[in-house]
Structure 1
Amino acid sequence: MMMMGDTFGSIGSSIASLFFVWATIQQIFPNHLKIAIKEFILSSFQQLCFAQRVSDHLTNLFSPYVEINFPESDEYRYNHAFSAIETYLGSKATEKSKLLKGSQVKESKGLVLKRDEKKIRDEYKGANVWWEIVTPTEGERSYKLTFHNRARSLITESYIQYVLEEGKSIKAKKKQTKLFTNNPSSQWVFSQNMWRFIDFEHPASFETLAMDPEKKEEIMNDLTAFRNGKDYYKKIGKAWKRGYLLYGPPGTGKSTMISAMANFLNYNIYDLELTAIKNNSELRKLLTATSSKSIVVIEDIDCSVDLTGNRIKKDRNSMERNRGQDKDENSVTLSGLLNFIDGIWSACGQERIVVFTTNHLEKLDPALIRRGRMDMHIELSYCTYEAFTILAKNYLDLDDHPLFGKIKSLLKETEISPADVAENLMARNHQVDVEGSLNNLIKALEKKKNSQMSKDEKKNNKFRIFG
C-alpha cells in the first residue's frame, strides 16, 4: 500500500510537467498540431485524476487504521472534549519526549516543561494509539486520533472516555481561576478567539470584605446553596443559573465583592464589555462560548449601552435619523439582554452566575432587574462601624482602640465609602502607624461631615427662598 501511495504521490508533479510542455508547444508547433496535442494532454489529465480517485478509494478500503477528529468547537460552541484531550496529553511524562517546550508564566514559579510534539503515541490495555494536533492555516484546530481497526471497540467504548475523565480531573486539580474579556467581533476567526484571558489573582475574600457580617453570611449561604443546587434546579425545572445585582455609590466594594465571589466558588470571571458587541446575535455567541462554573459580569450596566429608563417608542423622525447611521453602531437591545439573562439561550450551560453592577439603580429598566432575572439585590452602601472594624483588622491588625468610640460616632453622621476609609488606614511607606492612621481617618471624617452639613444648609436655604 505504501508503494502505491508513493507511485500516485508523483501525480501532482506529472501534471505540472504536462502544463509546462503545453506552454512550450504553444510557441513552436502550428495550429493543427496544437489542437491534436491539446486533446492528448486533456485525455491524459483525465486519466490521472481517475487514477488518483481509484488510489484514494483503494487506500481507504484496505487501510487497517481508523481516525477520529476532535475539533476545537462544534459549530460555534466550544468543544470541551478538545480541552480535556489537550490537558491529558500535556500531562504525559516528558522523560522520553525529544521535543519539549519551556515556559515561565509567573516569576515566583519555576520553569515548566511540556511536550511540544505534533504526534504523541499512547498505549491503553495493550493497544497503541497516536494523537496528532492538526492546525490548518485557516479554520479551527483539532486533535486526530489514529488506531488499528481491531481495537475499535476498546478505543471508542473505553479509552476515549478514560482520556476525557483524566483530562477533566487533572484540570480540576490544577485549576487556576481565569479572568476573561471579550474581543471585538472583527478579531473572531470562525467563531473562535471570542474571549481572551489572564490568570485571576485578586486576593479578595469574604473574610476581608468590609461589610455587615450578617449580610455577608447571607450572601455566602446563598452562593453555597447555588453551588450545591444541581438536583434542586432540575427538580423545579429551572436552568441552573442565578442573578446578582450589586448597587450603591462608587467605592463601596462592588468589584471587590465579585472577586470575593469568584475566589469563594473557584469560578472563572467573564467580564462582558457590551460596547464591543455589535448586535444581539454576537451577544448570544459570546454567552454560548462561556464555560460552566463561571460568573458573567456586566459592570456599570447603566453606562454600557442605552438600556436605561422606560421603553418609550422613538418618534418617526428619530427612526429616520437612525437609518442613516453607521451599521457598525452598537445595537445590543434591552430585549437581547433579557434573553441573554433568562431566555432560551441562557440555559445553554450549567452552573452560571450573572452579576450586574450599577451606581444608579433608579436608571435601570425594571424588567432588567426583576426577581427571576436578578434574583438577589445586594446594596453596598457607605461604611458602617462594623465594616470599619474589619478594615482596621485588615490594615492595622487592630481589634480595639480608645479612638474607636469617636470613629463610631462620626461614622453614624457621615457618608464615606469603605474605599476612602481604607485609604486613610493604609500604611505609609510600608510602616504601620496606628495612632497616625486613626487620627488621619478622624480628620477625614470630620472634614466630610462638615462638607455634608454645608451642602444640607444650602439646600435648606434654597427651599426657604422658594417656600
Structure 2
Amino acid sequence: MKTESLTYPLLSRQWCWELVRNFSDGGIVYNLNHHKQLSLFYIFLTVDTLLHKQNFNHFQKKRESKAKMMMKGEMWSNLGSTMAAIMFIYAMFRQYVPPQLQDYISRYSKKLSNLMYPYVHITFDEFTAEGMKRSEAFLAIQNYLSGRSSAYAKRLKADDVQDSQPFVLRMDYGEEITDEFNGVKVWWAANAISSKPQQFSSYPASDERRFYVLKFHKRDRDFITGTYLIHVLNQGKVIAADKRQRKLYSNSAGYGWSGFRSTRWTHVDFEHPATFDTLAMDAKRKQEIEKDLIKFSKRKEYYAKIGKAWKRGYLLYGPPGTGKSTMIAAMANFLNYDVYDLELTTVKNNVELRRLLIEISNKSIIVIEDIDCSLDLTGQREKKKKKDENEEMDPVSKRAKEEEKKDGDVTLSGLLNFIDGLWSACGGERIIVFTTNHVEKLDPALIRRGRIDKRIEMSYCRFEAFKVLAKNYLDIDTHPLFGEIGRLLEETDMTPADVAENLMLKSDEEEDETCLKNLIEALKAAKEEAGKKAEKEALLKAEKEQKEKDQSVQEDVKQDATSAKEVKENGFIH
C-alpha cells in the first residue's frame, strides 16, 4: 500500500498524457491546441484520481473491519478468561474462607454497592405473621396491578372467568412492569420462589413463596412510602370490591398439608341462587332475620366498644329437608359474604383447626353442618364400662391409644375456643352457623348464650311457606285449591323439600292445577301414614306400659314370696 501511494501521482500523469496523445493522433478529437490538450489532461487526471481514491478507501475499510473483528475476538477471549477466574476465586472463597468472614465480607460488600446503587426495593410477601395469615397488602397490590398488567406485561396469567366478563389477567411470575404516579416512575416485579426441591408433579408447589417487589429511586422515598403506597392499597381495595366474586371454600384434609404455607382451603365460585324472597318461610320471620343480619354488619364500632370480637353465632335446627342449607345460601347472598364449609372430620387436631380459622377472610360465613354427626361433641362422657376396659389394657397399648386420640381428634374444648376463644378475634365480620337435626343431643356448653346468639327453627311447611313455593315453581299467587292445601298443611307435617318436589312441573304439557292436585294427594297420603304411625306408636307404648306393669307385679309377688320365706325361717317379720 505504501508503494502504490508513492507512485500513484507519476503513473497517473503518464497515463493521462498517453490518453491525450491517442485522442489527438487517432482523430477522435481534432484541432486540439496545447491549451485544450492541457485541459483535457487535467480532466482525465481528476477522474483517475477519484477512481483511485475510492479504491483506496475500500481497501482501508476492509483492513479496519478485519482489525475490529480481531479486537472483538480478543475481547471475548479476555472476558471468558476473566469469568473463569472469577468463578474459580468464588469457589475457593466459598470453600476455604470461614463462614463468619464470608458474612462479614458480604455485608460490607452490600453496603459498598448500596452507596453506588441509586434504587430502593420494597418486598411484599403473600403471607405475614410467620406465614399464618394472608397479607391484605399483597392482595390489594395484585388487584391494583391487574389492569396495568394486561396493558404492559408481555407474559400474563389468566385466572378465571366471571359470568360474561373477560379473563382476569395478571402478570406472570418473573415479569416486570412500569407504573407512573404524579410524575414519579416505579417498577413492579412479581416473583415466586420454591423453598423446597420439587418432585415431578402436575400440581403447583405447595410451599412456594410468592411476593411483589417495588423498585424506585431513593430520591422519591418519602413520596413512595407516604403517598404512593396508600394510593395503591386504596385503589386495590376499590377494584376488589367492584370485581369481587364470592367463593365457596372447603377445607383440605389435614394429613395432606406438606408445608406451613400449604393451601388449607380450596374454593369454587359461589353461585347459589337462593334469596330470602325465594326462601320458604313465614314473611315475618324472614324480615326478622334480615334485620338481625343488617344490624350485625353495621356494628363494628359497637363490638369494639363492648370488647367483643365482631362475630355472630346462629343455630339452625329442624328435620331434614326444611331448608337449613338454603337459609345459609340466602344469608350469604343477602350480605354478599363468602362461605367456608368446615368439615370437622378432616381436621387432624385443634392446632390445625386454629390454622384454618386464621386463614378465613373477613366478610364470611363459617358453616359447620350436622354438628351432632360431625364429631363426638354431644357432651356425653365415657361410660364406666369403657373406663374399665381401658384399665384392663396393657400399659403400652393404653399409651398408644391415648396418643392416637390426642393427635387425631378435635375436642369440644378446641371447638369452643374456635368459636369464642382468643383465636376467634383473629379477623372480623364473621358469622358462624351450626346446623343440626337433633338439637337435644348437643352439649349445652356449645349452644349457650354468647356462643349462639340466635336460634332459628326450620320447621315443616305451612301455608305461608307454601305460597312462596307456589310463586317460585308455578308463578301463581292464588288458586281455588289453595284452601284445601292450607287445611291439609296445618294437619300434616311435610317438609318444604317434599312440597317443592310435588310442585315442580315434570313436562311443558303439565298444568299448574295438576301439580296442586298431586300435592293434595301427597298430603292426604302423608296424613294417613302419619295416623297409622301414631296408632302404631300408641299401641307400642301401651304394650310397653303393660309389660312394665306386669314386670312390676311379678317383682312384687317375688318380693312377697321372699318375705314369707324369711318369716317362716326366722319366725318373725323384719
TM range (shorter): 0.7 to 0.9
1:456 and 2:534 equivalent?
A: yes
CA distance in 1, matches of 2:101, 2:316: 72
- Counterpart for residue 113 of structure 2: 59
1:13 to 87, 91, 100: 87
- Counterpart for residue 494 of structure 2: 416
CA distance in 2, matches of 1:137, 1:292: 28
**Contact 1:15–1:45 (CA under 8 A) maintained in structure 2:** no
**Contact 1:381–1:417 (CA under 8 A) maintained in structure 2:** yes
CA distance in 2, matches of 1:11, 1:49: 22
1:232 and 2:287 equivalent?
A: no
CA distance in 1, matches of 2:509, 2:162: 28
- Alpha-carbon deviation of 1:317? 4.0
Letter paired with 2:339: I
2:327 to 257, 260, 268: 257
**Contact 2:253–2:347 (CA under 8 A) maintained in structure 1:** yes
**Contact 2:171–2:190 (CA under 8 A) maintained in structure 1:** no
- Alpha-carbon deviation of 1:107? 7.3
- Alpha-carbon deviation of 1:303? 0.9
2:245 to 160, 170, 176: 176
**Contact 1:87–1:170 (CA under 8 A) maintained in structure 2:** yes
CA distance in 2, matches of 1:73, 1:228: 29
1:345 and 2:402 equivalent?
A: no
CA distance in 2, matches of 1:360, 1:46: 66
CA distance in 2, matches of 1:218, 1:67: 53
CA distance in 2, matches of 1:119, 1:352: 37
Pick the structure with greater CA Rg: 2
- Alpha-carbon deviation of 1:370? 0.7
CA distance in 1, matches of 2:82, 2:440: 74
Stretches of structure 2 that go unaligned for 5 or more consecutive residues are 1-79, 196-207, 547-574
- Counterpart for residue 148 of structure 1: 217
CA distance in 2, matches of 1:238, 1:91: 39
- Counterpart for residue 192 of structure 2: 135
Stretches of structure 1 that go unaligned for 5 or more consecutive residues are 1-5, 20-40
1:284 to 325, 350, 354: 354
Which structure would you say has the larger RCO, counting Cα contacts within 8 Å and 6 or more residues apart? 1
CA distance in 2, matches of 1:11, 1:431: 88
CA distance in 2, matches of 1:133, 1:202: 34
1:72 and 2:148 equivalent?
A: no
SS in 2 for 1:144: strand
Letter paired with 1:233: Y
- Counterpart for residue 270 of structure 1: 340
SS in 1 for 2:194: coil
- Alpha-carbon deviation of 1:306? 0.9
Mean Cα deviation higher: 258-267 or 126-135: 126-135
- Alpha-carbon deviation of 1:93? 6.1
SS in 1 for 2:121: strand
- Counterpart for residue 434 of structure 1: 512
Letter paired with 2:214: L
CA distance in 1, matches of 2:82, 2:98: 14
TM-score by length of 1: 0.87
- Alpha-carbon deviation of 1:98? 3.0
> Which structure's residues are more often helix, by fraction?
2
Specify whether residues 349 and 113 from structure 1 end up closer, same or farther in structure 2 by C-alpha distance, changes over 3 A only: closer
- Counterpart for residue 183 of structure 2: 126
**Contact 1:8–1:55 (CA under 8 A) maintained in structure 2:** no
**Contact 1:131–1:143 (CA under 8 A) maintained in structure 2:** yes
For these two proteins, the number of residue pairs brought into alignment is: 441
TM-score by length of 2: 0.71
CA distance in 1, matches of 2:398, 2:507: 55
- Alpha-carbon deviation of 1:298? 0.5
Letter paired with 1:229: R
**Contact 1:8–1:52 (CA under 8 A) maintained in structure 2:** no
CA distance in 1, matches of 2:335, 2:239: 18
1:327 to 404, 414, 423: 404
